[in-house]
C-alpha cells in the first residue's frame, strides 16, 4: 500500500482527506467483505460485531509544510549575539585593552607605581569576539524543526464499524422490566442467556448495515410464600427467564426475613454511641452460621471500602438482589458496627490516651518556645522547636501504634481469620501526624507574632501549669526520674526591681566642698508594665490570669492571695498598683 504525497499543496491534502473520509463512511464496496464475514458466521457473528472493527485502511496521505518559526530556512537568528555573529569581549569588557599597575624603584627603593596599558589577548584589541553559539554565522539551527525547515504531515485514514443495538422481547411477564435489563446488560449477555440466530440483514441507510438476531427462551412466573410467623401469609412473585432461570423481578422477601434481626439490632446496636461488646459477640456467634449474613460479614472484612454504598452493595450481592436498597443499607450499617466490635481495626482508647495529651503538650510547647526565643534567635528557635516537637510527637504516637496493634490482635484472637478486618493504625498515624503538623505550624506562627508583641502573649502559663501538675502530682510516683526531667519547670528569673536615684545630700558649712554625686540609672516602669509583671509572676506561680497589663479584680484577688499565704501581707482596698508591685517583689515601701 503505497503512500500518496501531496507535495506542498495543502488544499489538495485537505481535499483528498475529505474524499477518503466520505468513501470510508458511504463506500459499500469497502464494507462488503466485513458484511460477508458476519453473514457467514451466523450466530457467532454477533460476538464479532460487539466491538469496534477496522475493516479497511487507506494508503497514508502526506503533505510538506514549512516550519512557521524559521519560515522554511532551517535556521533562526542567534539570541546571544542578535544575528551579528560577534559579541563583546568578556575579558576586557569591549575596551580592547586592560591596565596593569607596575611598581617603580629608584636607587633600590620603592618610589611608587605606574599604569601600563596592554592589548587584550582574547580579542586582539578589537573589543569583540566571535559568538560561541553561532560561531560567527549570526544564525543557529531551528529548534522547532531540527534544522530541516519543514514538517511532514501524515494522515492514516481507516474505515471503522461501530456497533449499535436495540433489544426487544415479546413476553407477557413484566415486559418492560425485562427489556430494560437486556438493554442494560447488552448483546453479549443476551447471547449467553438466549440462543440467538441470524435471521436477516440489509442496508440501513448509506452509512450503516442492519443485522437481525432472534431467539426463543422460557419465561417463568413463580408465586410463593414463606412459612414464618412474621410473614403473616405474604405472597411474593418472582419473574425469571432463560435456563437456568435468571430472575429479573426479584421480590424483597429478605426485608421480612430479617425484620426480627433488624429490630433486635436497632435496640442492641445503636448506629451512634457505644456498642456493648457482649451484645455484638452474641449476635455474631448466633448469626455467623447463616449463609447470607455470614457471606456479608466475610465480604465486609475483605473490603477496605466501608462506605454506605459499598456495604449496601455487598448486602444486595449476598441476598442476590432479593432485598430492598433501604433495607440493605440499614442492615449493612448495623452489621458493620458489629464487625468493628468483634474484629476491631484499631484500639481507639490507646490512641486517645497517647494522642490527645501529646498533641496538646506539643502545641503549647511550640508556641512557648517560639514566643521565648524567636525575637532574639529566630533561626535557632525555628530549628530547635521543629526538632523537639517532631521527637515529642513521633515517639508517643509510635508507642500508641504498637500498643494499639498488639491490643487489637489480642482482642480479635478468638475470631476466625476470615472475619479479620485490615488494621487501620497506619491510617490513623498519618492523620495524626498531619494534624500535629498543622497545629505545630499554627502555634509556632502565633508564638513568633507574640514574640514581637503583635498578638497577646501567653507567657507559657498553660504549659507551666501542665509541667507543675506533672512534676508535683504525677512524676514523684513514677519509677524513673525521666518524667521529672521531661516536665521540669524552667528557672524563674529574679524580679527586676525599680531603682530610684539617690537623693542629693545638702551640706551647710562655712566651706562647701563640691563632690560628684553618684546616682544609679533608674528603670522607668509605667503602671501598665508593672501590672503586666505582677500578672506574669503570679501566672508562673500557678494562678489563672491573663497577662494583659490590666490590673482588675481578678488580678487583685490573686495578688492578695499570694501575699496573704506567702508573706503574710494584707493590703487594704485603697492600695495602688505601686503598692502591689513593691509588696509582691519585696521592695521597701515608699
How many C-beta atoms lie closer than 10 Å to residue 279's C-beta?
16
Q: What is the largest CA-CA distance in the chain?
A: 147
pLDDT value at residue 517: 41
Q: What is the dihedral of CA 26, 29, 33, 36, to 10 degrees?
A: 80
pLDDT of 379 > 80? The answer is yes
pLDDT band at 287 (very low <50, low <70, confident <90, very high): low
pLDDT, tens digit (0-9, with 9 covering 90-100), for 446-460: 999 988 888 888 877
pLDDT value at residue 442: 94
Give dist(CA 501, CA 520) in Å, integer.
Answer: 5
| Domain residue ranges of the chain, discontinuous segments joined by + | 1-74+142-163, 80-141, 256-342, 348-459, 527-584
Q: What is the dihedral of CA 315, 319, 324, 328, to 10 degrees?
A: -20
CB 219 within 8 A of CB 289: no
Averaged over 267-293, what is the pLDDT? 71
CB 45 within 8 A of CB 34: no
Minimum mean pLDDT among 34-38, 189-193, 420-424: which range?
A: 420-424
pLDDT of 475 > 80? The answer is no
Give dist(CA 113, CA 128) in Å, integer.
Answer: 30
Residue 127 φ/ψ, nearest 5 degrees: 80, -5
pLDDT of 431 > 50? The answer is yes
pLDDT, tens digit (0-9, with 9 covering 90-100), for 358-374: 999 899 989 988 888 88
Give dist(CA 569, CA 520) in Å, integer.
Answer: 29
Planar angle of CA 415, 418, 420, nearest 5 degrees: 60
Choose the most confident range, by mean pLDDT, from 426-430, 462-466, 468-472.
426-430
Averaged over 433-455, what is the pLDDT? 91
Planar angle of CA 534, 540, 546, nearest 5 degrees: 60
pLDDT value at residue 403: 92
Over the chain, what is the mean pLDDT?
A: 82
SS (H, E, C) 514-542: CCCCCCCCCCCCCHHHHHHHHHHHHHHCC
329-to-192, 336, 466 alpha-carbon distances in Å: 31, 10, 47
Better-scored residue on pLDDT, 8 or 487: 8
pLDDT band at 511 (very low <50, low <70, confident <90, very high): very low
pLDDT value at residue 156: 92
How many C-beta atoms lie closer than 10 Å to residue 43's C-beta?
13
| Alpha helices, DSSP H, located in 303-377 | 308-318, 325-342, 348-373
Averaged over 504-518, what is the pLDDT? 40
Q: In the chain, what percentage of residues exceed pLDDT 90?
A: 17
Averaged over 390-402, what is the pLDDT? 91
pLDDT value at residue 504: 41
| Alpha helices, DSSP H, located in 170-270 | 175-185, 187-193, 254-257, 259-268
pTM (global) more than 0.75? no
pLDDT of 230 > 70? The answer is no
590-to-214, 432, 497, 580, 581 alpha-carbon distances in Å: 115, 56, 13, 12, 11
Q: Are strands 150-155 and 109-119 parallel, antiparallel or unpaired?
A: unpaired
pLDDT value at residue 481: 59
pLDDT value at residue 429: 92
pLDDT band at 489 (very low <50, low <70, confident <90, very high): low
CB 467 within 8 A of CB 488: yes
Amino acid at each position: 500500500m503505497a503512500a500518496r504525497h501531496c507535495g506542498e499543496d495543502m488544499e489538495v491534502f485537505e481535499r483528498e482527506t475529505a474524499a477518503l473520509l466520505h468513501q470510508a463512511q458511504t463506500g459499500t464496496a469497502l464494507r462488503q467483505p466485513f458484511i460477508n464475514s458476519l453473514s457467514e458466521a451466523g450466530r457467532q457473528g454477533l460476538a464479532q460485531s460487539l466491538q469496534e472493527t477496522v475493516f479497511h485502511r487507506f494508503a497514508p496521505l502526506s503533505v510538506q509544510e514549512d516550519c512557521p518559526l524559521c519560515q522554511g530556512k532551517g535556521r533562526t537568528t542567534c539570541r546571544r549575539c542578535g544575528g551579528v555573529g560577534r559579541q563583546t569581549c568578556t575579558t576586557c569588557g569591549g575596551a580592547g585593552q586592560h591596565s596593569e599597575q607596575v611598581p617603580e624603584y629608584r636607587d633600590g627603593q620603592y618610589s611608587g607605581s605606574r599604569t601600563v596599558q596592554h592589548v587584550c589577548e582574547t580579542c586582539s584589541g578589537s573589543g569583540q569576539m566571535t559568538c560561541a553559539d553561532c560561531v560567527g554565522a549570526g544564525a543557529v539551527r531551528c529548534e522547532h524543526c531540527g534544522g530541516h525547515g519543514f514538517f511532514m504531515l501524515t494522515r492514516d485514514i481507516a474505515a471503522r464499524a461501530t456497533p449499535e443495538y436495540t433489544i426487544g422481547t415479546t413476553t407477557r411477564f413484566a415486559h418492560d422490566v425485562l427489556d430494560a435489563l437486556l438493554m442494560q446488560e447488552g448483546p453479549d449477555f443476551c447471547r449467553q442467556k438466549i440462543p440467538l440466530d441470524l435471521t436477516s440483514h440489509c442496508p440501513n441507510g448509506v452509512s450503516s448495515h442492519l443485522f437481525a438476531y432472534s431467539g426463543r427462551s422460557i419465561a417463568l412466573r413463580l408465586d410463593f410464600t414463606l412459612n414464618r410467623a412474621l410473614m403473616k401469609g405474604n405472597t411474593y412473585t418472582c419473574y425469571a427467564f432463560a435456563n437456568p432461570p435468571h430472575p429479573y423481578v426479584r421480590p424483597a422477601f429478605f426485608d421480612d426475613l430479617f425484620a426480627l434481626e433488624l429490630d433486635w439490632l436497632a435496640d442492641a446496636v445503636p448506629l451512634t454511641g457505644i456498642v456493648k461488646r457482649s451484645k455484638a459477640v452474641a449476635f455474631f456467634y448466633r448469626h455467623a452460621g447463616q449463609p447470607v449474613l455470614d457471606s456479608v460479614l466475610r465480604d465486609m472484612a475483605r473490603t477496605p471500602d466501608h462506605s454506605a454504598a459499598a456495604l449496601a452493595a455487598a448486602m444486595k450481592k449476598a441476598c442476590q438482589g432479593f432485598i430492598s436498597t433501604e433495607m440493605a443499607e440499614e442492615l449493612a450499617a448495623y452489621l458493620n458496627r458489629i464487625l468493628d466490635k468483634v474484629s476491631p481495626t484499631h484500639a481507639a482508647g490507646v490512641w486517645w490516651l497517647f494522642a490527645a495529651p501529646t498533641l496538646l503538650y506539643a502545641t503549647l510547647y511550640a508556641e512557648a518556645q517560639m514566643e521565648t526565643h524567636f525575637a532574639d534567635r529566630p533561626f535557632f528557635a525555628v530549628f530547635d522547636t521543629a526538632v523537639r516537637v517532631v521527637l515529642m510527637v513521633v515517639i508517643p504516637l509510635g508507642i500508641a501504634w504498637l500498643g494499639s496493634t498488639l491490643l487489637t490482635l489480642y482482642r480479635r484472637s478468638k475470631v476466625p481469620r476470615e472475619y479479620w478486618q485490615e488494621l487501620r493504625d497506619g491510617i490513623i498515624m498519618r492523620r495524626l501526624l498531619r494534624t500535629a503538623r498543622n497545629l505545630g505550624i499554627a502555634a509556632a506562627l502565633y508564638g513568633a507574632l507574640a514574640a514581637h508583641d503583635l498578638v497577646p502573649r501567653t507567657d507559657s502559663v498553660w504549659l507551666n501549669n501542665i509541667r507543675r501538675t506533672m512534676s508535683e502530682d504525677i512524676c514523684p510516683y513514677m519509677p524513673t526520674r525521666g518524667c521529672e526531667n521531661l516536665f521540669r519547670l524552667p528557672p524563674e528569673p529574679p524580679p527586676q526591681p525599680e531603682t530610684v536615684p539617690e537623693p542629693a545630700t545638702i551640706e551647710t558649712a562655712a566651706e562647701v566642698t563640691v563632690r560628684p554625686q553618684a546616682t544609679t540609672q533608674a528603670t522607668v516602669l509605667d503602671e501598665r508594665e508593672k501590672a503586666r509583671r505582677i500578672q506574669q509572676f503570679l501566672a508562673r506561680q500557678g494562678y489563672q490570669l491573663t497577662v494583659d497589663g490590666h490590673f482588675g479584680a481578678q488580678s487583685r484577688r490573686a495578688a492578695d492571695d499570694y501575699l496573704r499565704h506567702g508573706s503574710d501581707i494584707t493590703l487594704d482596698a485603697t492600695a495602688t498598683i505601686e503598692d502591689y508591685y513593691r509588696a509582691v517583689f519585696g521592695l521597701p515601701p515608699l
